[in-house]
Structure formats: structure tokens, C-alpha cells
């Protein structure tokens, strides 16, 4: 490095506030800081602007019906169709423009462009096929697919006929698929034969079939997209109720399906996510409010314009892909990218190669990826022309200022604003982040709540804490993109998200406060730093996992008596799974058992939940009332100074465990 470079680095290192560049601010979709005040004064009518981004069949009568909190209704009595909003209405002006640019992992394979016209056609054909096989309005269709074009085609086809989809991340296990299909009483599955990962073909249908065998009701039909090139070595015989995706498309060539009018409050999709208990929660999203939220935030925060090529590297199997690969960008009529593979195949510059080739305007990714890019080194992005980028985004976990600055400098060339967006599966879309053309950025802090959002940081009593102090994040006003309930479980919906800070007997919406289970602090100027989950959820590489789910998988392994799982710090992943395990009498603490435990977790959830370390221990540290002291186990995992152990029933066990962890 030259002296000048060293000086520049040092300057960047110290800088705490970054202004959006003039060139970005001039062209931004939102440029008026007055929007914050305007939305506050004009709430909830301010959200008409979000609804106006959509085409409605029937106009709504009321922006917000808050007569029955927390069951809020947005854009009441309006009707619309999400598929028509993402496709049909763009045909006249943008029919020949790319809707999806799909990039497969194998480099030798041709990429595929779907214009709006072509995507519209495929969606219609698939929708016709679904109808023909009996899928009706309200039937939940499960999708268990990787990043292949048939996934958004199937999602939009479902939306077209009013059948909610429930997408299960392809990296989840067969068991996880079965649990979700059972919970949603879903009788239809769309899956695929396999896909490519780091150069190898992966068998996916085998796993899907194993999942299907665990479904407790009859499955009408399983549709299999044939993604592998000539089967790529896997021979699959289809069962009687299985049919190829491509056959459905071919059988319905040229078909059109009138988009079904859906009530604004009708369910667009279900998405299962982890919570405090072992059972995943089916988060229910609406058609009108959700789509308006996805579209509005895509426009306001990601600065998406129809002529952009926008690249989000998330997986559609998570909420980020739903809102910010499929629904938001397509509602705005832009070009959205889909990349099948990993960022390090065939080399660690794959994303930069894609950005350069497609001249991407935005990149939206996760801190865990940014930390990996940093570790791999700046020489990878430096080999490519990234000057097409106008904006960078991050989501999924807190981003440390060093990673933020690296992203800003080496990917954004100090020209692109970075939006650090806090939100959750449940919120449907972004909640806390800077408006990129308006607000300064502070690395490490997500920023102020979006206009029209009332976010407060409170103590356990619900009182607002002083700036700079840690507290709990709460949302004090409803918003259009919010989850409507947990599928068929209103009671759990109230318990999980509202009970903590609301007066649940009241029907005054002011008495209802949403609790996302995150800790946070707020600065004097209203910028919020999110500190992480305060419940039993851990965040591994931006993937949300329930410690209880992992524990129940571990105690299911023969020879395990008890287990406690915590998140330990990890340089790249953010958090990693640490499993403390007590063996049953008569079982040895062997390497075999350790492998069986790891396998058990992979079978029950998937490789993303694989424990970083399995620590055998004769006892777990417990309070006198018998509760496991997780905080201590976390401190041990992180090699930290151990605090007060005097409230333990068995303090002597702590140093034993610590010695073991250090020894590993």
C-alpha cells in the first residue's frame, strides 16, 4: 500500500458518519427529508402512497381498520391480484424487457432471460395446470425448491389463482419439509430433481420424497421441475401422483388464466420461521398490505427503478427472497437477478463477475457474506468493473462497522450508499434503515425507523430507555406489511408478539405493542443499533434457527439424555451452534456419538444448523429453580470471563465445562 492508501484507510477507519454522495442523492427516488414529519402527521393515510404503487381491482374503503387489535386490517375491502401486479400490468410498456435474469451455477451452462412477456406466459400456463389438478383458492401449495426459475413461476401462478404458497428452503431437511406440510395441511408440493452446488449435482428429489413419506395426510400431487442437465446421473422414477413441471407447462401451452380477485386481507403466502419453542411458526402474510409494503420499501430504500438491474443474493426460501427478489422488484417492473449457486464457485469472484456482466445497479446481501468477502480479500472485487453499482444493502444480522466500511469502500467505491436494513419474516419488509438519498449513514447502526413507523426502545417495564442504553425493540403502531397472524393459531400470535408489552384486554390500538424479540439501543439522534435476539433464537449466517428445535433433534439421538444449545460468536457466520450434551447412563462420550448428534441435527433441520462444537458434559449449569443458565454457556463458548455463578445449584460444573471447551 502507498502512504496515501494507508492514510485513506486510517481515515475510513475513524469516520463514523457517511453522507450519501451527491450523484446518488440527485437521482434518488426519495429526496425530501420532510417525509418523516409528513408521515407522522398524516398517519395512517400516509400509506395510501404505498397502495398507489399497486393496481387495484376494487378500491379500498379504509386505509386501516384497527377496531380489533392486534388483528389489524389494511386497505379494507380493496381487491387485487399479486400476480397481475407483478406481471400483467407491465406488459404494455415493458413486455420485452427482462423480468428475471437467471444465472445457473455451472459456468458452462447458458443463463436464461425471462422477459415480462415470457414470464407472464409461463405463469399462466403453470396456473392453468394447477387449476386442472384441482388446486383451488385458499389451498396451500408447498414449494421445496432451490434458486431456479420454476420457483418464482410457481409462486406467481399460485398468487394468480389465489392459492397461498408456503416455500420451504431447499437446504432444510426432509423432516422439516414434512413438519411444514403437515402444519399447513398442504396437499400439493412443487419441488425439483436436483441442483448444482460448488460444481456438483445434488439430488433433491430423494430428500423431497423422504419428506413426503412423513406427511400425515394424502398428498394430491407432487410436481417435479427437471433442473439437472439430463438427470445428471440421478435416476428418478416418479410415483403415480408425481408429474414433471415441464409437462404441465407443455400441456397448457398458450393457456391464459384470469387473475383471481383477492381481498386485500386474503393470505398471499405462509412462511415458516423459528421461534422460542421447538415448533416452527407459520407466519401469514396478506395480499394488499404485504405487496404494498414490499413495493414501497423496494422503491424508497433500494431505490429501484424499472430500468434497473437489481441483484439480491439471498435465497427465495427465506423472506428476503420473497420480498426483495420476487414481489417488491417485480411489482415495480424492474429486472431482478436470480443466482443459483454459492459466491465462491468456480472462484471467489463469482458475484463480482455477475455484477459486471449484468451491470447490476443494486446489490443486497448479508453481513455473513460481506465478512467472507473481506476474508477472501479485495483482489477479487478489484478484478471486476463494479462501477454500475449505485446502491448497496445488507440484511439479516447486525453488521460490524469494519465489514460495513469494507463493503462501502471495496464494493461501492465510496460512491454507493449502504442501507443496513432491520426487519424480520414477520414484518414482511424493511422497518429500520436510512432512506439512502436523504439520511447520513452510521456504520453499525441500522438507522432511524422508516417514515410512518413508531419504534421505541424500552426496558422490561415498557418504559423508554435513555439514549445509549440497551433495551428492547418495540413497534408501537401497526404497518401494512405486518404479519396478520400465525397460521391457525391466533392465540400463539398474541402470546409470541404482543403479550409482553400490550394490555391484551384492551381494544384500544394504543395499548397494543409489537415485540420482535430483539435487543437494541438508540442514539440521541434517533439512530437504532440492533443488538440481536433476546429469545432462544440464534442467527447463523443470517439464518434464523431455534435453539429448541436443535435441542429436540439432539435429544432424539440414542444415547443423549439432555442438551442445551447456544449461539457462540463466529468471525464469518456471526453466530455458530454450540451444543452441550449430557449422555445417558451406559453411553460413552465417543466420537461416534458426536457424529450421530451432528447427523441428527442435519436430518431434523438441515446442514445450516450443524453444530460447530459438541461438548459433552456430566451436568448443565442450572439455577436453583432448575433453569439452564444459557448466558453462562454462551460466555463459555465465547471464552469470556465468567460472571457470577453463585445463583447456581451446581457452580462447580462451570469450570469443568470451560476447561473442556478450551481443550477442544
Interface residues with ligand WTA (CB under 6 A) are 273, 318-320, 395-398, 420-425, 446, 516, 518, 530, 532-533, 539, 544
132: which 3 cell numbers?
Answer: 386442472
In the complex, the smallest distance separating the C-beta of residue 544 from ligand WTA, rounded to whole angstroms, is 4
In the complex, the smallest distance separating the C-beta of residue 165 from ligand WTA, rounded to whole angstroms, is 17
Closer residue to ligand WTA, CB minimum distance, 346 or 532: 532
Nearest CA to 70 among 444, 462, 494? 494
Beta bridge partners of 283: 271, 486
In the complex, the smallest distance separating the C-beta of residue 432 from ligand WTA, rounded to whole angstroms, is 7
Closer residue to ligand WTA, CB minimum distance, 192 or 366: 366
Closer residue to ligand WTA, CB minimum distance, 397 or 635: 397
220: which 3 cell numbers?
Answer: 394430491
Alpha helices in 576-622 (DSSP H): 591-604
In the complex, the smallest distance separating the C-beta of residue 361 from ligand WTA, rounded to whole angstroms, is 21
In the complex, the smallest distance separating the C-beta of residue 542 from ligand WTA, rounded to whole angstroms, is 7
Closer residue to ligand WTA, CB minimum distance, 350 or 570: 570
Question: How many Å apart are CA 402 and CA 12, to the nearest integer?
Answer: 9
In the complex, the smallest distance separating the C-beta of residue 329 from ligand WTA, rounded to whole angstroms, is 16
In the complex, the smallest distance separating the C-beta of residue 518 from ligand WTA, rounded to whole angstroms, is 5
Across 609-620, b (16+ Cβ under 10 Å) vs e yields bbbeebbbbeeb
614: which 3 cell numbers?
Answer: 459438541
Closer residue to ligand WTA, CB minimum distance, 153 or 608: 608
In the complex, the smallest distance separating the C-beta of residue 423 from ligand WTA, rounded to whole angstroms, is 5
Question: How many Å apart are CA 347 and CA 343, to the nearest integer?
Answer: 8
Helix or strand or coil: residue 389?
Answer: coil
Closer residue to ligand WTA, CB minimum distance, 221 or 544: 544
Residue 270 main-chain phi, psi, to 5 deg: -115, 145
Alpha carbons within 13 angstroms on the beta-carbon side of residue 47 total 28
| Long-range contact set of residues 552-558: C-beta below 8 Å, sequence gap at least 24 | 552/278, 552/604, 553/600, 553/601, 553/603, 553/604, 553/605, 553/609, 554/579, 554/581, 554/597, 554/600, 554/601, 556/600, 556/604, 557/593, 557/596, 557/597, 557/600, 558/587, 558/596
Q: Which residue is nearest to ligand WTA (CB)?
A: 425
Closer residue to ligand WTA, CB minimum distance, 150 or 425: 425
In the complex, the smallest distance separating the C-beta of residue 150 from ligand WTA, rounded to whole angstroms, is 23
Residue reference for cell 408429474: 243
Helix or strand or coil: residue 579?
Answer: strand
Closer residue to ligand WTA, CB minimum distance, 509 or 532: 532
In the complex, the smallest distance separating the C-beta of residue 449 from ligand WTA, rounded to whole angstroms, is 13
Question: How many Å apart are CA 585 and CA 561, to the nearest integer?
Answer: 8
Question: How many Å apart are CA 179 and CA 220, to the nearest integer?
Answer: 17
Closer residue to ligand WTA, CB minimum distance, 116 or 422: 422
HEC string of 214-269?
CCCCCCCEEEEECCCHHHHHCCCCCCCCEEEHHHHHHHCCCCCCCCCCEECCCEEE
Give the torsion sign (CA, 411, 416, 420, 421): negative
Looking only at the bridges linking them, the beta strands covering 281-286 and 267-273 are: antiparallel
In the complex, the smallest distance separating the C-beta of residue 638 from ligand WTA, rounded to whole angstroms, is 18
- The answer to whether 293 and 480 have CB atoms below 8 angstroms apart is yes
Residue 544 sits at the vertex; the CA angle it makes with 158 and 565, to the nearest 5 degrees, is 140
543: which 3 cell numbers?
Answer: 439464518
Closer residue to ligand WTA, CB minimum distance, 64 or 325: 325
Closer residue to ligand WTA, CB minimum distance, 60 or 423: 423
Question: How many Å apart are CA 388 and CA 375, to the nearest integer?
Answer: 24
In the complex, the smallest distance separating the C-beta of residue 218 from ligand WTA, rounded to whole angstroms, is 31
Residue 144 main-chain phi, psi, to 5 deg: -130, 85
In the complex, the smallest distance separating the C-beta of residue 475 from ligand WTA, rounded to whole angstroms, is 12
Closer residue to ligand WTA, CB minimum distance, 236 or 533: 533
Residue 51, H or E segment:
helix 48-51
In the complex, the smallest distance separating the C-beta of residue 278 from ligand WTA, rounded to whole angstroms, is 17
Closer residue to ligand WTA, CB minimum distance, 273 or 368: 273
541: which 3 cell numbers?
Answer: 449466517
Closer residue to ligand WTA, CB minimum distance, 261 or 454: 454
Beta bridge partners of 65: 73
Closer residue to ligand WTA, CB minimum distance, 191 or 273: 273
- The answer to whether 281 and 492 have CB atoms below 8 angstroms apart is yes
Beta bridge partners of 223: 190, 243
In the complex, the smallest distance separating the C-beta of residue 579 from ligand WTA, rounded to whole angstroms, is 21
Closer residue to ligand WTA, CB minimum distance, 44 or 568: 568
In the complex, the smallest distance separating the C-beta of residue 649 from ligand WTA, rounded to whole angstroms, is 31
Amino acid at each position: 500500500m502507498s502512504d496515501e492508501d494507508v492514510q485513506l484507510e486510517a481515515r475510513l477507519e475513524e469516520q463514523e458518519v457517511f453522507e450519501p454522495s451527491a450523484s446518488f442523492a440527485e437521482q434518488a427516488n426519495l429526496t425530501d427529508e420532510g417525509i418523516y414529519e409528513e408521515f407522522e402527521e398524516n398517519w395512517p393515510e400516509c400509506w395510501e402512497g404505498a397502495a398507489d404503487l399497486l393496481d387495484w381491482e376494487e378500491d379500498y374503503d379504509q386505509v386501516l381498520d384497527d377496531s380489533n387489535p392486534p388483528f389489524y386490517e389494511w386497505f379494507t375491502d380493496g381487491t387485487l391480484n399479486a400476480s397481475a401486479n407483478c406481471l400483467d400490468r407491465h406488459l404494455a410498456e415493458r413486455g420485452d424487457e427482462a423480468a428475471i435474469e437467471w444465472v445457473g451455477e455451472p459456468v458452462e451452462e447458458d443463463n436464461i432471460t425471462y422477459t415480462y412477456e415470457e414470464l407472464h406466459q409461463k405463469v399462466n400456463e403453470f396456473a392453468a395446470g394447477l387449476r386442472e389438478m384441482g388446486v383451488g383458492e385458499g389451498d396451500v401449495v408447498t414449494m421445496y425448491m432451490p434458486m431456479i426459475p420454476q420457483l418464482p413461476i410457481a409462486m406467481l401462478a399460485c398468487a394468480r389463482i389465489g392459492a397461498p404458497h408456503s416455500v420451504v428452503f431447499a437446504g432444510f431437511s426432509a423432516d422439516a419439509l414434512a413438519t411444514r406440510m403437515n402444519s399447513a395441511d398442504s396437499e400439493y408440493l412443487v419441488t425439483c430433481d436436483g441442483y448444482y452446488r460448488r460444481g456438483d449435482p445434488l439430488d433433491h428429489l430423494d430428500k423431497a420424497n423422504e419428506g413426503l413419506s412423513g406427511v400425515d395426510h394424502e398428498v394430491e400431487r407432487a410436481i417435479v421441475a427437471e433442473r439437472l442437465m439430463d438427470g445428471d446421473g440421478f435416476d428418478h422414477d416418479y410415483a403415480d401422483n408425481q408429474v414433471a413441471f415441464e409437462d404441465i407447462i407443455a400441456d397448457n401451452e398458450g393457456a391464459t388464466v384470469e387473475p383471481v380477485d383477492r381481498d386485500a386481507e386474503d393470505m398471499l403466502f405462509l412462511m415458516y420461521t423459528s421461534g422460542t419453542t421447538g415448533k416452527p411458526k407459520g407466519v401469514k402474510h396478506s395480499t394488499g398490505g404485504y405487496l404494498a409494503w414490499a413495493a414501497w420499501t423496494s422503491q424508497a430504500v433500494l431505490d429501484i427503478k424499472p430500468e434497473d438491474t437489481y441483484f439480491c443474493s439471498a435465497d427465495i426460501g427465506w423472506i428476503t427472497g420473497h420480498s426483495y427478489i420476487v414481489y417488491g422488484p417485480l411489482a415495480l417492473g424492474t429486472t431482478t437477478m436470480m443466482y443459483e449457486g454459492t459466491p465462491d464457485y468456480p472462484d471467489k469472484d463469482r458475484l463480482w463477475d455477475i455484477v459486471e456482466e449484468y451491470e447490476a445497479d443494486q446489490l443486497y446481501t448479508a453481513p455473513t457474506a460481506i465478512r467472507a468477502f473481506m476474508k477472501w480479500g479485495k483482489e477479487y472485487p478489484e478484478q471486476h468493473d463494479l462501477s454500475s453499482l449505485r446502491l448497496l444493502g445488507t440484511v439479516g444480522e447486525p453488521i460490524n462497522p469494519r465489514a460495513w466500511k469494507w463493503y462501502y469502500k471495496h464494493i461501492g467505491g465510496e460512491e454507493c450508499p449502504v442501507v443496513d436494513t432491520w426487519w424480520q419474516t414477520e414484518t414482511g419488509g424493511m422497518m429500520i434503515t436510512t432512506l439512502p438519498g436523504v439520511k447520513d449513514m452510521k456504520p453499525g447502526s441500522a438507522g432511524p425507523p422508516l417514515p410512518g413507523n413508531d419504534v421505541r426502545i424500552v426496558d422490561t417495564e415498557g418504559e423508554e430507555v435513555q439514549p445509549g442504553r440497551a433495551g428492547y425493540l418495540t413497534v408501537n403502531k401497526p404497518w401494512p406489511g405486518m404479519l396478520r397472524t400465525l397460521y391457525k393459531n391466533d392465540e400463539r400470535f398474541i402470546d409470541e408478539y404482543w403479550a409482553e408489552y400490550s394490555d391484551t384486554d384492551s381494544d384500544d390500538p394504543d395499548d397494543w405493542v409489537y415485540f420482535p424479540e430483539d435487543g437494541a439501543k438508540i442514539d440521541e439522534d434517533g439512530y437504532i443499533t440492533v443488538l440481536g435476539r433476546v429469545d432462544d433464537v440464534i442467527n447463523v449466517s443470517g439464518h434464523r434457527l431455534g435453539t429448541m428445535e436443535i435441542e429436540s433433534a439432539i435429544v432424539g439421538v440414542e444415547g443423549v439424555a439432555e442438551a442445551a444449545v447456544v449461539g457462540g460468536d463466529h468471525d464469518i457466520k456471526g453466530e455458530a451452534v454450540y451444543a452441550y450434551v449430557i449422555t445417558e447412563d451406559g453411553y460413552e462420550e465417543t466420537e461416534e456419538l458426536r457424529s450421530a448428534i451432528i447427523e441428527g441435527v442435519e436430518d431434523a433441520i438441515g446442514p445450516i444448523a450443524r453444530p460447530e462444537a459438541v461438548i459433552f458434559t456430566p451436568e448443565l449449569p442450572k439455577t436453583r429453580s432448575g433453569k439452564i443458565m444459557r448466558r453462562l454457556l454462551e460466555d463459555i463458548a465465547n471464552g469470556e470471563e465468567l460472571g457470577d455463578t453463585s445463583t447456581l445449584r451446581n457452580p462447580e460444573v462451570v469450570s469443568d465445562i470451560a476447561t473442556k471447551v478450551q481443550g477442544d
